[in-house]
Chains A and B, each alone.
Chain A
Amino acid sequence: MRVKRFIPLAAFALLALLLFKGLSIDPTALPAARLGQPFPDFSQPELLTEEVIGASALQPRPALVNVWATWCYSCRVEHPYLLALATQGVPIYGLNYKDESEKARQWLSELGDPYRLNITDRDGTVGLDLGVYGAPETYVLGPDGVILHRHVGVLDEAVFERDIRHFFTVPGRLAQASTQEGGE
């Protein structure tokens, strides 16, 4: 009979533990729904060459797919770091999301182009299939074309070192590793 009186306290203790855990969780963080799935195929023109490409053109892998646009302020902020990564040998493909191609080309010529390829996504259909909900976002594409990770927001050194580095081999050997794996 006495034990019954402690039930409310016990229930509250559980609640408090839950809330404590909750303090260390970010409620706005949304992992990609496509995690573990192959990059959705598409058929869009490349930004600079206007040649129509699909998901199979995203080689070598592993690589980053960066969602960006000229209307996105944060994309400008992360741009220098992307250039730095590109010079280190990290393959980066761009998804020019809901943007005007001419403005995009101008932007790249002014600020530098870290992208090996740039997918033009004028109306956001590729982004929709991917689960993009804003810019900038960066996806990690695995050697077999599977999406391994998504980062929402500005990509900087801290984020790369903490969350993304381990998907890549040592940068100097990247070119070697990807030609070895080749294929799909």
Chain B
Amino acid sequence: MIPEIGHLALIIAFVFAMGLAVIPMWGAVRGNSAALNLAPTLAMGLLVFVAIAFAMLAVSFLKDDFSVAVVAANSNSLLPAIFKFSALWGNHEGSLLLWVLILSGWMAAVSWFSHGLPSVMVARVLSVMGMIAVGFLAFSLLTSNPFERLLPNIPLDGNDLNPLLQDPGLIIHPPLLYMGYVGLSVPFAFAIAALLGGRLDASWARWSRPWTNVAWGFLSLGIMLGSWWAYYELGWGGWWFWDPVENASFMPWLMGTALVHSLAVTEKRGVFRAWTVLLAIFAFSLSLLGTFLVRSGVLTSVHAFASDPERGLFILIFLALVIGGSLLLYAVRAPTVASRINYTAVSRESLLMVNNLVFTVSTIIVLLGTLFPLVMDAFSLGKYSVGPPYFNAVFVPLMALVMPFMAIGPLSRWREDSAARWLHELLVPGAVVVVFALAVPLLFGGRFNVWIALAVLLSGWVAIGVLKDLWRRLGVGSGYGLRWQTLTPSFLGMATAHLGFAAVVMGAVVVTQLNEERDLLMEVGDVEFLGGYRFELTALSRQAGPNYMADQAVFEITQGDKPIATLIPEKRRYFASGQMMTEAAIDGSVWRDLYIALGEPVEEGAWAVRLQFKPMVRWLWLGGALIGFGALLTVADRRYRRQSTVKSAAIAEATGLAG
């Protein structure tokens, strides 16, 4: 009964999406305001029915309804309830439904928060998003129906969720990531709507900005969480593998970074118009491309869903229509009059142009590296692999290239600035950073490491730029007290995100350079020293969990005579699938992680163990969190809320005069 309701709801949702794709767009073309104003209602209807479908699937999972194929394939009666729920999106069909749910959510949000916008614009935006919903719902209903049944032979129990996914990480990472992926459809829709309406001035940029920032913020958080999850879940302490699926999420982020900055320029100065539209189209296109790469089986990845070239073809056709269509629209409708170049070569605009350039090049490079094996194979030039050694070699220098500009950026003036003024502002702080960069590695690491010095230099430089901007805004030393009101959410968000970026760079370089690890055989009573800490294996035991049996090793860690932590890594065997899993034990702090993972039992009472000392690894994720939250913070800015009060005042005045 419940799966049938869900299926029906999905079909009704599809009808709403079709309506949304057609009616408001027609209304926009014909100037029919009744049709236009139907858009928010249709969007709400879409959300309601997708939500019902989602809820029905969730109930099926929670009630162990193994007649539903995805439940049987991904769940189990012994699975803890929270994982039964999140198993919903731990597979291809269910995750598609999550995609559509989040898309509907964004559409509803757009219709709620767009009072200040012309209804034609809103109608077009919602219509474009509706078209995307049509595509995904069609994909779901036709090729990947989550409500497919296994009647009449209902399995007695399910296959169980992959133990790797039985983790809180599964609960948050995909939803956050999808919030980002899907959220980029909003600036995309705004860009398309602007192209359709022929209105490519600063206003579309101003309306898109808060949406873009939020989507990008969520994407940042999603990626950061994915990295952290891989770190503690997979057992060898790695945090980024340049795997095709990871790259599929990273490319929209890189393009999104360029977009976030480019929108600022278009909003404030009315320039970069064509560039910004293109970036908005590309950012979401890369999201869609990611969907294709992950689900089509075209690339090998540890993360990919079970692949199916038939589904791949459907997504590719959808991709061709959406991306091809939008790029065609761009080619035909993009501003034929180039923006007036009303800025000099030394200005904030030019710095942001460099930013656009570097992040666009980075995106292309990641795309090229990810697709290179496919290119070579398609031309029968052999089977190649492109992995972390390549990506690290080419990507890191690019980020290093953009960082010097990041400090100057916030301080720079629009339109026209002078290098001399930059020098004046940053010479002293710069010198301080250089001295610090040379001294710090010696203070902490004991030995001079040129990479760490470089990282401190660049990150410190970025931090200095932010602090200098803060200093200037507050008006320190002006004699009038501190101007706290200048610290708008917009500024604070930017500052937080930039500091977060600097933190990520620091964390990445330090943990790569100063990581210490040791693989060894240990028995109860054995002691090992690593990174200045003493690790002692004090006990081995067995422990049962809700759906697994675990071998445990108890480690006591001390530093000098100070007890630091007791860590208990496990080796688990899950009952339902018989799969083995390692659960690493981590003692984390801001400055270092102590990481222990069990290998295999070599003989009775002796285990192969990996001990790791990972300095500053948390800076990666703390930095990532700062980037994400910084972006989210910017939308609290009053100027986005001021719009509605100004408009209502204007209306009141107008009606008062008319009446």
Contacts and interface: CB of A to CB of B under 8 A. Distances in A.
B365 to A, nearest CB: 15
17 contacts: A8-B278, A8-B282, A9-B324, A12-B323, A12-B324, A12-B327, A19-B298, A19-B319, A19-B374, A20-B316, A21-B378, A22-B377, A24-B309, A25-B378, A27-B300, A27-B373, A29-B383
Interface in B301-343: 309, 312-313, 316, 319-320, 323-324, 327-328, 330-332, 334, 336
Contacts of B334: 5
Interface residues of A, number: 22
Given A9-B330, A12-B327, 5 more contacts: A16-B320, A18-B378, A23-B296, A24-B309, A25-B298
B278 A23 contact: no
Contacts of B281: 8
A6 interface: yes
A109 interface: no
Contact of A27 (B292, B320, B374, B375): B374
B292 to A, nearest CB: 7
Nearest to A21: B378
B313 A23 contact: yes
A5 B371 contact: no
Contacts of B312: 23
Interface of B: 278, 281-282, 285, 292, 296-300, 309, 312-313, 316, 319-320, 323-324, 327-328, 330-332, 334, 336, 371, 373-375, 377-378, 383
Q: Is the interface of A mostly helix, strand, loop or mixed?
A: helix
Contacts, number: 69
Interface string A1-37: 1100110110011001011111111011111000000
Interface in A40-66: none
A58 to B, nearest CB: 27
Contacts of A21: 378
A1 to B, nearest CB: 8
B374 to A, nearest CB: 5
B292 A19 contact: yes
Nearest to B313: A23
A153 B377 CA distance: 21
Nearest to A28: B300
Contacts of A30: 383
Contacts of B292: 19
Nearest to A30: B383
B300 A13 contact: no
Contacts of B285: 12
Nearest to A8: B327
Contacts of B375: 18
Contacts of A20: 313, 316
B46 to A, nearest CB: 28
Contacts of A9: 324, 327-328, 330-331
A27 B377 contact: yes
Contacts of B327: 8-9, 12
Interface in A75-119: none
A30 B282 CA distance: 33
B328 A22 contact: no
B309 A16 contact: no
A21 B376 CA distance: 11
Given A25-B374, A30-B383, A19 B316 contact: yes
Nearest to B297: A27
B377 A25 contact: yes
